[in-house]
Structure 1
């Protein structure tokens, strides 16, 4: 009997890419989505609607018969860990035997980046279940860097001169698909993989590369931590979100995200894209930079 894969986040940038790759490989998969009408139309893919990770009954029904669950981390929220725990517990109750969880580099209880602490807590809960598990600890996605650029063409934040081993969604999706399909000869897929680009770049270097791609000036202006909080207070975001925004920069400054690994190449057989290569291949993701005043 073929293995049934349960895929969360199938309407998103990562889960959707993973589902496409699994469909191309002929895998049997069930897409867990909030709105079935928004699920990608893929050959051989079943669709199950859930109310969210904390929809216990819906999750258990959707995961019944699933062997491996691909668990994309939920949106940042005060109760995100509780949502993850609920999803994991539903997987256990449904008889899932393996979880592949999308985590973050440097996940730890005392990580500088506050959201990385959520990932550590989720990993610990998954480990405690005794299920087979794989943690894909992604670095920041390439697509995040253009989003840091303000309408004035400036990246502002307390990132200092730190560097980040940013990674493309496509490379993470290729690696995740290889793990889910057990398509990696002589590699134990049940472990922790840091998924990164092939180099770590500073925010100033990222700005320079975006400048060349967009044909206009993009610069990085360092802030102090105090300036960073003050400049973001006007957004009216809750404290946990402000902390996440600011500590994403201080984690860079501390060197926490300077992680570069060969895991993408090991898992996929091809090198990870550099940020410059990603810019060239994905103009739609940063097109707005051309139109900034």
Structure 2
């Protein structure tokens, strides 16, 4: 039986690309967004509007009648876990059968990367919901690397740790493959990474910039000028620390196995930037 698939975050990079791939495969979709004017126009897709994950009533209505939902994680914030809990509660209330949640690599209660702790907490809540679930745990995105360059250098306390940077398009392709056959992936967790684990120094060299290996204290000091809240700065710094500890040094075959094509390399991504 063919079921309509719900896609949250359909105006974003991963959610939007996942929706495009599923629409191309001829699947019926419901795109759950806050701003319907930004929703992609796709064949076989209709748009449902809710006021974000904190809008339990709106999310419940948007989820109504859906068998499977791709729950894209909310933007980082101090209350992101609470937002995720409300979205899961709405899905439970709407009698959704299966949640595919976009988590993060090495998510754990005591993960070095503070934002990864949010994902672990959400995974635990989903597990306790009684719904079927699948967790996708992508590595850090290739797409963020250009934004890390400041004054011709990438600076952070990553040491000689390694990371297998992953393309958002590959994460979306894996999500689409799983959403097409969710019952085959019930209760499973998949690491989704690029094909090669690189040090930050190697990464910077490929980008044609310098890598400056900061101490943790230097990292906090160099980011103080942005005036960002403490929780956000901590997330920035601990992402580098998680590379240093080895928590990001994972190379997974998930992209190849799920999609039939190899994961996109960092060099391919850089070439695409021209």
Same fold (TM over 0.5): yes
Partner of 2:21: 21
Among candidates 236, 243, 268, match of residue 234 of structure 2: 243
CA distance in 1, matches of 2:143, 2:170: 13
- The correspondence of residues 1-293 of structure 1 with structure 2, limited to 5 A, is 2-150=2-150, 152-182=151-181, 188=185, 190-211=187-208, 218-283=209-274
For each residue in 1:189-223, what CA deviation from the matched residue of structure 2 results, as whole angstroms up to 9, or x when unmatched? Answer: 54000000011011111111112xxxxxx110110
Matched residues in 2 for 1:9 and 1:2: separation?
Answer: 22
d(CA) in 2 for partners of 1:74 and 1:195? 19
Unaligned runs of 5+ residues in structure 1 are: 212-217, 284-293
Give the aligned CA root-mean-square deviation in angstroms.
Answer: 1.3
CA distance in 2, matches of 1:161, 1:263: 25
Partners of 2:178 and 2:185 within 8 A in 1: no
Q: In structure 2, how many angstroms separate the alpha carbons of the residues matched to 1:258 and 1:280? A: 23
Kindly tell me the number of residue pairs found equivalent between the two proteins: 274
Query: How big is each residue's C-alpha offset from its partner over 1:67-125, in whole Å with a ceiling of 9 and x where there is no partner?
Result: 11100100000000000000000000001000000000110000000000000000000
Asked whether the 8 Å contact 1:154–1:221 carries over to 2, the reply is yes
TM-score (norm 1): 0.91
8 Å Cα contact 2:7/2:30 also seen in 1: yes
SS in 1 for 2:174: helix
Q: Which structure 1 residue ranges, 4+ long, deviate > 4 Å from structure 2?
A: none
Report the Cα offset of residue 188 of structure 1.
3.6
Worse-superposed segment, 132-141 or 273-282: 273-282
Long gaps (5+) in structure 2: none
| 1:183 to partner: Cα distance | 8.2
Aligned pair in 2 of structure 1 residues 48, 182: CA closer, same or farther (>3 Å)?
same
Shift of 1:252: 0.5
Q: For the Cα contact (< 8 Å) 1:31–1:47, is it kept in 2? A: yes
Aligned CA distance change for structure 1 residues 111 and 96 (closer, same or farther; 3 Å) = same
The CA distance in 2 between the partners of 1:183 and 1:136, in whole Å, is 12
CA deviations over 1:211-254 (Å, ceiling 9, x no partner): 2xxxxxx1101100001111111211111111100000000111
Check whether the contact 1:179–1:189 (CA below 8 A) recurs between aligned residues. Answer: no
Distance 2:130 2:197 in 1: 35
Distance 1:281 1:190 in 2: 36
